[in-house]
Chain A
Amino acid sequence: MMLEIEDVSKVYGTGCSDCLELTGNRHGRAICPRCRSVVAVNRVNLQVGANLVLGVVGESGSGKSTLLKLIYRELKTSAGSIYFQADFPDGRKRLNLMELAYRELSIIRNTHMSMIYQDVRRGLNFLFSAGGNIAEKIIAAGERKYDAVREQVLQFSEKIDIPTERVDEYPETFSGGQQQRIQIAKALASSPRLLLLDEPTTGLDVSVQARILDLVKVLHREMGFTMIVVSHDLGVIKHLTDLTVVMKNGSIVEQGLTDQILEDPQHAYTQLLVSSIL
Chain B
Amino acid sequence: MNKRIFAFIDEDAKKEIRRAILKAVAIPGYTIPFASREMPITRGWGTGGLQITLSTLVEADTLKVIDQGCDGSVNAVTMRNFITSVTDVATTTITGEASIIQTRHRIPETPLTEDQILVFQVPYPEVLTTVEPDTAAQKVMHANHDYGKMWVLLYEDTAQFGDSRISHRYPVEINGVYLMDPSPIPKYDIPRLHNNSALMLFGAGREKRIYAIPPYTSVQPLKFEDREFSRETFPGIRCERCGAAGVFFDQVYLDDGIHYYCSDTDFCDRNVAGER
Contacts and interface: CB of A to CB of B under 8 A. Distances in A.
Interface string A125-168: 10111011101100110001111111000000000000000001
B234 interface: no
Contact of A106 (B144, B224, B226): B144
Contacts of A148: 226
A202 to B, nearest CB: 28
Interface string A107-123: 00010000000000000
A127 B156 CA distance: 11
B274 interface: no
A132 B151 CA distance: 9
A146 B144 contact: no
Contacts of B134: none
Contacts of A139: 148, 151-152, 155
Contact of B156 (A103, A145, A168): A168
Interface in A189-205: none
Contacts of A106: 144, 146
Contacts of B151: 135-136, 139
Given A102-B143, A136-B152, A150-B155, 20 more contacts: A102-B144, A103-B145, A106-B146, A125-B152, A131-B155, A131-B159, A132-B152, A133-B152, A135-B155, A135-B156, A136-B149, A139-B151, A139-B152, A140-B148, A144-B224, A145-B224, A146-B224, A149-B155, A149-B224, A150-B159
A148 B225 CA distance: 10
B155 A132 contact: yes
Interface in B150-198: 151-152, 155-156, 158-160
Contacts of A140: 148
A135 B144 contact: no
Interface of A: 102-103, 106, 110, 125, 127-129, 131-133, 135-136, 139-140, 144-150, 168
Nearest to A139: B151
A103 B141 CA distance: 9
A144 B225 contact: yes
B5 interface: no
B227 A146 contact: yes
Contacts of B159: 129, 131-132, 150, 168
A145 B225 contact: yes
B139 to A, nearest CB: 11
A103 B148 CA distance: 13
A129 B158 CA distance: 13
Nearest to B150: A139
Contacts of B252: none
B160 A135 contact: no
A131 B144 contact: no
A148 B227 CA distance: 12
Nearest to B159: A168
B140 interface: yes
Contacts of B225: 144-145
Given A129-B156, A131-B159, A139-B155, A147 B144 contact: no
A147 B226 contact: yes
Given A144-B224, A145-B225, A146-B227, A131 B146 contact: no
Contacts of A146: 155, 158, 224, 226-227
A150 B226 CA distance: 12
Interface in B121-156: 131, 140, 143-146, 148-149, 151-152, 155-156
B219 to A, nearest CB: 18
Contacts of B152: 125, 128, 132-133, 135-136, 139
A136 B153 CA distance: 9
Nearest to A170: B156
- The 3 A-B residue pairs with the shortest CB-CB distance, nearest first, are A146-B224, A140-B148, A145-B226
B144 A103 contact: yes
Nearest to B154: A146
A128 B156 contact: yes
A94 B139 CA distance: 30
Contacts of A110: 148
A145 B223 CA distance: 9
A213 to B, nearest CB: 29
A131 B156 contact: yes
Nearest to B144: A103
Nearest to B143: A102
Contacts of A145: 224-226
Nearest to A141: B148
A147 B227 CA distance: 9
Contacts of B156: 128-129, 131-132, 135, 168
